[in-house]
Amino acid sequence: MAVEMRNVSGNNVEAQLIYAITLPVSCAIILINLLIILGIICNRQLHSSQNYFFLSLLVADLCTGVALPFIPWMGLNRPLSFSSCLLVHIFPNFLFLAFLFNLVLVHYERYRSIMSPLKRGQLWLHRWFVLPLLAVWMLPLLFALLPAFGWNNKAIHDRNECCPITNSTAHSNCIALSGERCCTYRSVFPNAFIYLEVYGLLAPAILSIAAMTCRVLWITREQLRHIQRLQRAVANRKCRRRMEMRYACCVAAVSLAFLTCWVPYIVYTHVGMEFLLRQGGKSNRTGHIVLSCVGIGGTAVVPLFLGLANREYTDPVKKLFCRLWHRHGQSVQMDTSLRFS
């Protein structure tokens, strides 16, 4: 009985920790994504293939924000049937993979547009934009469904028991009452699947995003030097300094975003590999929960930075709020005038 009470209290503390960290971040991600999506939909000038890619990324980020409170539970044990265990592990994994694929697509499209600005309208991404959109959703779905197609460890689930072993009578009674085995990540994801996802999908995606971002910054630096050479003829020092400051601010913003968003996720991925693939011994469950919440939440904030930094996406929302505020002010003035009259 004492062991059971300890397990229940431990689960309650872990649940409170997960919800305390993820719920505020999840609500902020959902709200800001909805506002940016509304701004893109309401502005007809933004209905282009480039903005469709970013809109797909916002939808994926919105779904990731919804699934964020459930992702840390994937590293914990719960009494569930095998079908429910598959669902609670496959669905959040699919949403995060779709988010990452959409993020790579947006970075690749912007990278190609900067590399070939004169041939932007002739790129196959813009002419056949439906195909990349289908690929960034269907490929993660097919990969995430591999455990449901049979690549799983159901045998581990069948012999895992969440009931504490205090004595034989209490243990048998617990199993008879629950009728469910212990749901763990090991029963859904084999080690080979985890290695393939982390080092075959996640790591190349992050490296490609970092490489394309660095290449874009390098091209921007070369263009800035060329403009500075032209401005030296007219001796416009103020303009040169202003452009240098803008470039320095851009580099600082990108570096800060990488440190705050991607570094926690990279740390969580490598530390999580040791935690998830550890065959025995005790694990720091609290540390894993904090790392997973901070790591996944940090990556989900990346599209928000990209969206809020673009005035085309934020101006429609600002105008909408200004109209609502103006109408609210007019209604308040009418009410006060009617009262005094």
Mind listing the pLDDT tens digit for each residue in 127-171? 888 899 999 999 999 999 999 998 887 776 666 656 544 444 444
Q: What is the DSSP letter of 234?
A: T
Written in H, E and C, the secondary structure of 305-321 is HHHHCCHHHHHHHHHHH
Torsion sign (Cα): 10, 26, 67, 284: negative
The residues near 69 (Cβ < 8 Å, ≥ 6 apart) are 18, 19, 22, 23, 26
Which one is predicted more confidently, 29 or 312? 29
Instruction: Please give the average per-residue pLDDT across 165-193, as a whole number.
Output: 60
- Residue 3 in this model has a pLDDT that exceeds 90: no
What are the structural domains, with CATH classification, of the chain? Answer: 10-159+181-309 (1.20.1070.10)
Question: Across-strand partners of 79?
Answer: 182
Q: How far is CA 42 from CA 54, 63, 192, 277, 319, in A?
A: 15, 21, 45, 47, 11
- Residue 77 in this model has a pLDDT that exceeds 70: yes
Top mean pLDDT of 192-206, 275-289, 297-311 is at 192-206
SS3 label, residue 183: strand
Q: How many helices (H) and strands (E) does the chain have?
A: 15, 2
H/E segment holding residue 86: helix 82-115
- Residue 337 in this model has a pLDDT that exceeds 80: no
pLDDT > 70 in the chain, percent: 74
Residues in the chain: 341
Residue in 127, 114, 116, 101 with CA at minimum distance from that of residue 49: 127
Model-level pTM?
0.81
Torsion sign (Cα): 105, 110, 114, 120: positive
pLDDT tens digits, 45-75: 888 888 899 999 999 999 999 998 888 887 7
